[in-house]
Amino acid sequence: MTYFEANAPIILAVMAFFVMCLFFLGALQYASYAARKRSFQKRLREETASAEEDAAPSQPSDQIGDKIRDFLTRIGRLIAPKTVENRSKSREKFLKAGMRSSTAVGVFWGVKLLVATCLPAGFLLLSITFFRIFSTPGIAAIAAALGLLGLYVPELWLKIRISRRRDKISRAIPDALDLMTICLEAGMGLDATINRVGEELRLSHPVLSDELKLMTLELRGGKSRQEALKNLAARTDVEDLNSLVLVLVQAEKFGTSIAQTLRVYADSFRTKRYNRAEEQAAKMPVKLVFPLALFMLPALVMFIMAPAVIRIITSWPQQ
């Protein structure tokens, strides 16, 4: 009996687990692609104001999505944070991720509970029906580990989403700074400048555009400029944008020229980005050591030593 025949159940169990993980990853990737597609189509409809696109039939998918959302919200209430402080912290995380829906927290906890339940249940079903190779303590330990993994994966997804959103906002700040400087030096006020920059960045940088539009709505709703700027910094949690908000608040507080202050900050920001790029370039050789040693060096050694090894094998006296 060969090695593969003896360990066929274990190999099949590992393969089934990886197939299930790939299925969940594919489903998440498809959901992300569909969300980006819907967002782009929505912006395109708003930009072109086409009546035909506004009347496009999308009711069945919306109804199915509403039903799924309601189901996840109901089961998410079972393990969702109960205190006001914990709910506010969870809400703050979702605002940083760009999810402002009132049902976002409930849906997230519902998905968390569903994944943490389905992974151990699927493993138990497979181990009982097909792969009876583990003992009862082993099955319990693996099921518990899968349950903990199911609780951790949504948190990891949320952290990745927040990190990607921060990167998008960071890449949009230079263009926003240039547009704000031009508008302010042309004689526009700060509120009108923020509104105009949000409109101009609608297609190129939609994430920062949405945040600036929300800030404009807060200003129109009666909030002070300092409060709206602080809310913008809290929602985005980007270091460069926090510095920009601090500069604008101080310029307004001390009565200095906002246009001149913004131009000085833009120059210092370009210098900071240049230094950051140099730092990343200096770290690159160190980061390349491990992949080169892992992938390039064995291939290079094999390529150099292969002729000598072949010659030694062919010249070895046969017995």
- Domain residues of the chain, as ranges? 3-46+61-169, 170-274
The torsion angles phi and psi of 305, rounded to 5 degrees, stand at: -85, -15
Three-state SS annotation for the chain:
CCHHHHCHHHHHHHHHHHHHHHHHHHHHHHHHHHHHHHHHHHHHHHHHCCHHHHCCCCHHHHHHHHHHHHHHHHHHCCCCCCCHHHHHHHHHHHHHCCCCCCCHHHHHHHHHHHHHHHHHHHHHHHHHHCCCCCCHHHHHHHHHHHHHHHHHHHHHHHHHHHHHHHHHHHHHHHHHHHHHHHHHHCCCCHHHHHHHHHHHCCCCCHHHHHHHHHHHHHHHCCCCHHHHHHHHHHHHCCHHHHHHHHHHHHHHHHCCCHHHHHHHHHHHHHHHHHHHHHHHHHHHHHHHHHHHHHHHHHHHHHHHHHHHHHHHHHHCCCC
Only one residue has tokens 């049902």, namely: 103
pLDDT (tens digit, 0 to 9) for every residue of the chain, 319 residues total? 555 556 666 666 667 777 777 777 777 777 777 777 777 677 666 666 544 444 444 444 456 767 777 777 777 777 777 777 777 888 888 888 888 877 788 888 888 888 888 888 887 877 777 666 666 777 788 888 888 888 888 888 889 999 999 999 988 888 888 899 889 888 888 889 999 998 898 888 888 999 999 999 998 888 888 899 888 888 888 888 888 888 888 888 888 888 888 888 888 888 888 888 899 888 888 888 888 888 888 888 888 888 888 888 787 766 5
CB atoms within 10 A of CB 263: 17
Only one residue has tokens 């819907």, namely: 38
For residue 55, the model assigns a pLDDT of 41
Query: pTM of whole model > 0.85?
Result: no
Q: Are 259 and 184 in contact (CB under 8 A)?
A: yes
Cα angle: 149, vertex 154, 155; to 5 degrees = 95
In 3D space, the residue among 103, 47, 54 whose CA is nearest the CA of residue 80 turns out to be 103
For residue 109, the model assigns a pLDDT of 84
CA distance 310 to 92: 64
CB atoms within 10 A of CB 53: 13
Q: Are 116 and 152 in contact (CB under 8 A)?
A: no
Tokens at 209, concatenated: 């555009």
Q: Are 77 and 115 in contact (CB under 8 A)?
A: no
CA distance 8 to 128: 16
For residue 196, the model assigns a pLDDT of 92
CA distance 116 to 153: 9
